[in-house]
Structures are given as C-alpha cells and as structure tokens.
Structure 1
Amino acid sequence: NSAFSSSIKDQQRIARLYQGEAFFEIAPSHGQPLEIDAGPVRASVRDTAFAVRYLNGEAQVQVQRGDVDLSNTFDDARVRLRAGESIRIGPKGFGQPAKLDASKDLAWVQGRLIFENCPMSEVLAELRRYYPGWIVNTNDQLASVAVTGNYRLDQPLDVVRSLAHITSAKLSEYPALVILN
C-alpha cells in the first residue's frame, strides 16, 4: 500500500513517497545527491541504505548504512542521522533520534514482520497494509492484547488466522473481508 514516483534529470534526482514505506540503497556517486520527499521531511543522500515510512501525516527515517541529511517542512530544521539511528517527523517537526534495531525494524525488507509486545490494534493496522481487502476487528478486548511474533509478510491472512487462534477469537472470512470478533 505504497505510492512512489521519481524524476531523474542531469542536475537533479528526486523521489517522492506519497504514502507507505520504501527502502533505498544508494550507490556511491560523484553526481548530485538523491533528494527524497516524504510528507514533512526531505532527505538528501549519497552512498547509504535507509528506509522511509510515511503514513497518516508522520514520517520515519531509519538508517542502516551511511548518513542521511534531513530537513523538515515545518520550520526547515535540519538533522543528520547516522547508521543505526531512527527518527520520527510529524507536522510539528522532528522527534528525538532513537537507536535502530535493524533486524526487527527493517525486517519487512526481508519479507518479515516482527512484533514485540505490540498491541493487536497496531499489528492489525500493519497487516492491513499488505492484505488486498479489509481486516476488521469488532472485539474491543482484542485491541490491547500484546502480540510477539515473527511473521511472513506475504501471508497476512495466515497471520490473522494465527492471531485469532491464539486469542480464541472468532474469525469470519469472506472474499476480500476478514472479521475478528
């Protein structure tokens, strides 16, 4: 559920992430840096590997290798992130840099979703991004159940089935619709 465009010209390389998540691996270059726009943030990069996530008006940048220079659209503040760092950027600017756990936080690049004591509501929100239909939870008690697990990204329906089984929730499946209750 990501939307992305790019424009490469002689003097300018720009990528735009309209929503979702993207991983960039930028080779060393003596030309212009790649500029990446994602809602409230612009990243300028050379020779780096990093992820950008933009959902619901908030961006997150996670640096696996190299450095990423960031500026925000709120007040043009600037931050440089280094390998192993992550930061969130909202409509009011930068949050505090945090340590990146690449094996967990970037697991989606390898086709996995990893959760550690994550509320079921957040797990289902993430699964909805990968399921080509609707996932609906009508049981409010399930929303706060803590989920820990390592799941295949390409099988979101199997993950929902597993979560329903371990929580003893009733699962109703229809074409393009799954209901937990």
Structure 2
Amino acid sequence: MSDRADGPQPDQTLQHPDPVTDAALDWFVRLQEAPDDLGLQARLKDWLDSDPRHAAAFAKLQNMWELPELGIASARHASRLDARQEERTPMARVPVYRSGSWTIRIAALAAVVMVAAGIRYYPEMLLRWNADHLTATGEQSAFVLPDGSRIMLNTASAVALDFEGQKRSVTLLRGEAFFDVVSDPARPFRVAGSFGDVEVKGTAFSVRTGGEDTVILERGRVEVAQRAHEAHHASLSPGQMVEVSPAGLSPVAGVDTESELAWRTGWIIFQEKPLADVLADLGRYYTGRVITVDRGLGHIRVSGNYRLDDAEGVIRSLAEAAGAKVTRLPGGIIILR
C-alpha cells in the first residue's frame, strides 16, 4: 500500500522528507477538515493498521495537536482573523468562518508545520506563534500600542498584546522591554513576566525575563506582585528595582537607571562588575557563543561604556583588558582562556 493518503491531497508546498510522516500529515489535515466523514475514518484506519510506522507517525502528530499551548495560541490567532474578517467592507462577499472553525484550521496548520520542521524547533516556533512583536538577536524595535503607550523591545525579545475592550495587557514572552505608559486611571496597564505581574496607571519602567523577572522603574510608580502568591508584592519608586522568582520577591533596591537602561540608546554601561556577568549580558546581543575555559577570568571585575552594535568587538576588548587569549572558531564560537 502506498504511504500517501488516497483521494485529493492538501497543498503540497509543505512536505516532510520522511514519506511516512508526510502521509500522516496529509491524513491529519483531511481528518480535521472532515471529522464526521465515516468513509475517511475507515480509510485512515486501514492505513494505520497497514504498518506500525503509520500509527507511530500519526500518534506523534496527535500528541502535538493536543498540546495546550498550541490550542491557546491558535485561539488567539482565530480571534484576530475574525476581527480582520469583520473589518472588511460589507459589500465584499467572502466565506465566513467562526472562531471555532478558524481555531481548527490554524491549529492543524501549526501542528503540521511544527512536525514538518522538527520537534526541536517547537519552543521557538511556539514563541513566534504567540508573539505580536519580536526582535532578533542584536535587534531593537520601538512601537506605539493601541492606547498610545510606547514600548521598546531589546534584543531577542517578544511580547503578546491584549487590548480587547477595556484591557491594557502585555505579556513579555522573552527578553526585555521598556514601557512608557499613557495615564488612564480607569484602565490599569498590566505587564506579565515569567513569574510576576506589574500594574501601573501611567509611568515608565522596564521588565526583563530570565532566571527571574527584573523590574526597574524610571519614573512614576508601579506595583509588582509574584503571580503564584499575590500577597508577595512590592511598590517601586523612581530609581528602584525588584526581582521576582519562583521563591518570591527580592528586597527593593536602588539602581542607576541611566546605566541599567542604557540599552535604549544602544549602549552597555557597567562599573566594577564580574566579567562573567558582563559576558552573560553581552551574550544576549551576540549571535554566536562565548566559552570561558579559565573560570578565574569570570571573577575579574571590569568597567566600561560600549556600543552594542559590535558585541563581538566588546567581548574581544574586555578579554584583552582581562589578560585573556581569544580564539574564534567557525560559527561565531569565541573561546576565552
């Protein structure tokens, strides 16, 4: 029996190099389009029973389909498509799909793409699927939100927006962002990080995700709460910061906002910081990888004021100042020893 699904085939522009997986993709899409077709179900069963590889490939695709993150992301995109459909002129005669139908089509497409591309790319693909705005490594981007507030994304960052109705909500999916929020006492502005939530009415602050969420306030006032335990919260005044982790909130501390937020103007500024910490920060702007062989180098304290548009040049300069030897391998791998 052929590995290809019989009958009319879906768009063949996306094909998996493995013919069994490719056939499973065909069956899967057709089944989502016609879930009540008993004849299709019978033919699918015959195909699954004909070879153990068929059942394994189809099961893998079904597992991808059932991921809750995929359903949430698909529903978000379905609502966007509904909104775009409604924005069209009333005179335009176009097919009408309700959100449930859109969700099935979008989720099916997403599952097909992720299986075709490979499961190892799933986290990055899901991030792109959820994000409304994102930046690549070394890139920064600024834009205006629907309420007139402004946001600036730092390197390798992504956000998802929710401004439906009276909501003013942003989820920082990855990286770092600076917010300059338009005051609206009736509509609090909320930012969700990995572990904490920030609520403001009109202020300017940054949020950075990673091993913890770091919130820095430039002006105004913000309330920061740990999502798992809302009783754990802190109020920040200008020039203060707090970190939120699964363990709770750090003590509120003073911070030099000019240095910590210098990335907005394309600079990195540090004073007497361990080289390891500076390299970790620079690594967010460098597309390659930095490996320190001599662990002692990481403890050397360094100071500097550098442009971020040449991250490799900064790394080399700091290594030279620390007395390290630099070896660059293909693929952008830098070894310090």
2:331 to 155, 165, 175: 175
Name the SS for the 2:314 alignment partner: helix
- In structure 1, the residue matched to 2:35 is none
* Bigger mean CA deviation after superposition, 131-140 or 26-35: 26-35
For 1:102 and 1:48, the matched residues in 2 are separated by 14
- 1:101 and 1:61 map into 2 onto residues whose CA distance is 13
Aligned to 1:122: 277
Indicate if the aligned counterparts of 2:181 and 2:204 stay in contact, CA closer than 8 A: yes
Does 2:287 align with 1:132?
Answer: yes
Rounded to whole Å, the distance in 2 between the matches of 1:99 and 1:113 is 19
* Partner SS state of residue 55, structure 1: coil
1:64-143 matches, cutoff 5 A: 64-77=218-231, 78-143=233-298
Which residue pairs with 1:59 in the alignment?
A: 213
Aligned equivalents of 1:61 and 1:4: distance in 2? 16
| Stretches of structure 1 lacking an aligned partner (at least 5 in a row) | none
Match of 1:159 among 291, 294, 314: 314
Q: Return 71-80 or 147-156, whichever deviates more.
A: 71-80
Aligned equivalents of 2:181, 2:306: Cα separation in 1 = 28
Shift of 1:19: 2.3
The number of equivalent residue pairs is 180
Residue 100 of structure 1: how far off its partner (Å)? 2.2
> Structure 2 length as normaliser, TM-score?
0.51
Query: Structure 2: how far apart are the matches of 1:97 and 1:110?
Result: 26
CA shift digits 1:94-139 (9 cap, x unpaired): 1111112111121112211111111111111111100011111112
Q: Which structure would you say has the larger Rg?
A: 2
Q: CA deviation at 1:71?
A: 1.6
What is the Cα-based RMSD across aligned positions, in Å? Answer: 1.4
Give deviations 1:137-163, integer Å, cap 9, x for gaps: 112221111111111122110101101
Matched position secondary structure for 1:155: helix
Deviation (angstroms), 1:51: 0.5
Check conservation: 2:191, 2:198, Cα contact below 8 A. Answer: yes
The residue type paired with residue 68 of structure 1 is V
Mapped contact 1:113–1:150 kept (Cα < 8 A):
yes
Distance (Å, rounded) in 2 between the aligned partners of 1:127 and 1:164 = 12
Contact 1:74-1:92 at 8 Å conserved across structures? no
Residue 234 of structure 2 contacts residue 252 of structure 2 at CA under 8 Å; is this kept in 1?
Answer: no
Does the CA-based 8 Å contact 2:241-2:254 persist in structure 1?
Answer: yes
Higher relative contact order (CA 8 A, sep 6+): 1
> What is the percent sequence identity of the aligned residues?
34
For residue 147 of structure 1, what is the aligned residue in structure 2? Answer: 302
Question: More helix per residue: 1 or 2?
Answer: 2
The DSSP-based 3-state class of the residue aligned with 1:32 is coil
Name the CA distance, whole Å, in 2 between partners of 1:89 and 1:160. 29
Q: CA offset at residue 176 of structure 1?
A: 2.1
Amino acid at match of 2:213: A
Deviation at 1:30, TM superposition (A): 5.0
Answering whether residue 194 of structure 2 is matched by residue 36 of structure 1, we say: no
Q: Distance in 2 between matches of 1:100 and 1:157?
A: 27
